[in-house]
Structure 1
């Protein structure tokens, strides 16, 4: 199958692209290589895809905000299936600069949906986020929970979901939106808590916690997220639907930091600073809908996954750590 992965040089997108190539598909990655974090990490991701796919892999450097380019990529490569991972990430970033995520996360998605309709793409899988929920009414979140985003980023992700639904209803474009809950794992971007905690501990520095550390997160291991995405290649689900992709439980940020200290063997204490604006206090996914519709069963608990990440970090420290510290 000919598959387009937007944002395929990034963390989640590159893992999806690599797995697709390993399973024999032809993959086109469209990525602007935004220096939101060190682009050398993205180049490394692309090289892994090239090594795996050979002539079945194509990289196109450019933005999903370029309507003509998106149309050209979809039409000239006979794209049958799209994994839309491209986005301006970051709740805190969106508070500082709300216009950029709107242009990319909303305008870019519209360009993709228009091209998918014009060229008969079989399905568009849209990467959404737990940030669409915002204020907590009850936990764990199921897909019927109210959506009151607390950041411009969350607003753009919720808007994108609605566009996907409407494109299915009005134009018969098959769409599915997956609401990710804090994805982590090898090659993750540097500004995530687990990366930051690990790099600081391995360099003898204390993890820095924003707020009191009692915030809880539903961290989802990258392999589980890739499994969920690839299951949609052959699984029939309700068109225009959304579903949570989370993990097996939650952990406080303080407990997470202490676990990283334990896994790294660092002789450090915790350091606390002011809480960040617009960060959710708690997240926790009810994944029963994804389990029923696509057979999703998260297999990696957070403590196990952190251990795997720390082991990977040590094995790849020579190239990964300098790029993390430079970001």
Structure 2
């Protein structure tokens, strides 16, 4: 694990998107992604992350520098907000829309599965992947190992905003059904697992936006205002 210069280990942040849809462990069950599964990205983003993984392995091995690769699952948590025209960051989208009175839109009914990992746990896992001896040369899932549907997140948001409405939309092309992380390897290598449940994380995010109304983008407030006028 000798390094050149001052670099002791490089940790490359990759993504669960390299897996694509994966394969369910049982018929009707959500897919579980293992680090040894053959990657099959469905997007340019996922493909570039996979390319980056290969480049890190080739470059670091040649330079005799220790490396690790962490594949993030669905990252959420304060101070995450949303970008106009984007549909990433499910927790932020649902909570912010509910906070301004907009309906919670569920593509395909919200039955897609994600493995939601709070940003605090993402940070903790990444730091360990930089320092744990057993992480050397490893590809590691940073996930909770818990499959969670987007609909169940929306329903938990409704416990904070009971007047919000759920609206089902058609499934857009290319939207993966998703899956969850196999976390056996990361637990062994890092002696660690995420601590924050998705329910606790959503509660924390809602509390954060209630305390910081300026976190809600102006364009979303305008959208809510226009929607109210149309309703009248």
TM-score normalized by structure 1? Answer: 0.60
**Counterpart of 1:169?**
61
1:183 to 56, 75, 99: 75
Alpha-carbon distance between aligned partners in 2 of 1:290 and 1:135, rounded to the nearest angstrom? 21
**Counterpart of 2:7?**
121
Q: Report how many aligned residue pairs link the two structures.
A: 209
1:253 to 128, 140, 150: 150
SS at 1:140's partner residue?
strand
**Distance of aligned partners of 1:156 and 1:321 in 2 relative to their CA distance in 1, 3 Å threshold:** same
Alpha-carbon distance between aligned partners in 2 of 1:324 and 1:207, rounded to the nearest angstrom? 17
Q: Is the 8 A contact 2:19 2:39 kept in 1?
A: yes
SS at 1:272's partner residue?
strand
2:123 to 226, 245, 249: 226
Alpha-carbon distance between aligned partners in 2 of 1:233 and 1:168, rounded to the nearest angstrom? 14
Q: Deviations over 1:130-188 (max 9, x none)?
A: 00001322332111112111111111011111111112322212211100000101111
1:205 to 95, 102, 107: 102
Deviation, structure 1 residue 234: 3.0
Alpha-carbon distance between aligned partners in 2 of 1:316 and 1:185, rounded to the nearest angstrom? 14
Q: Is the 8 A contact 2:22 2:32 kept in 1?
A: no
Q: Deviations over 1:85-122 (max 9, x none)?
A: xxxxxxxxxxxxxxxxxxxxxxxxxxxxxxx96x4422
SS at 2:195's partner residue?
coil
**Distance of aligned partners of 1:137 and 1:267 in 2 relative to their CA distance in 1, 3 Å threshold:** same
Deviation, structure 1 residue 268: 2.4
* RMSD, matched Cα: 2.1
Q: Is the 8 A contact 2:144 2:194 kept in 1?
A: yes
TM-score normalized by structure 2? Answer: 0.82
1:127-138 aligned at under 5 Å gives the runs: 127-138=13-24
Deviation, structure 1 residue 209: 1.4
1:284 aligns with 2:180: yes
**Counterpart of 1:270?**
166
Alpha-carbon distance between aligned partners in 2 of 1:141 and 1:301, rounded to the nearest angstrom? 19
Deviation, structure 1 residue 207: 0.6
